Amino acid sequence: MTKEQTQEQIQQLIREQEQEIEKLLETKRNTEPTDELYAICEMVVLQKQKFIAELRALL
């Protein structure tokens, strides 16, 4: 696999993670702050954001 192909795969993965974050944020917006799902969405979003930052560091 070439460097360009690897970079494209990383960029695609970043886009997918960003889409998942949007879905999680929508779920969070539609959930009461006292609901356990709200906290779970928040934690997963933070983890995905960290993962995206690590992926971007590879580019």
pLDDT digits over 23-59, tens only? 999 999 999 999 999 999 999 999 999 999 999 999 9
| Domain that includes residue 20, residue range | 3-58
Averaged pLDDT for residues 14-18: 98
Asked if residues 24 and 45 have their Cβ atoms less than 8 Å apart, the reply is yes
pLDDT of residue 56: 98
- Residues of the chain with pLDDT > 90: what percent? 98
Q: Structurally, how many domains does the chain consist of?
A: 1
Asked if residues 24 and 41 have their Cβ atoms less than 8 Å apart, the reply is yes
Q: What is the mean pLDDT of the chain?
A: 97
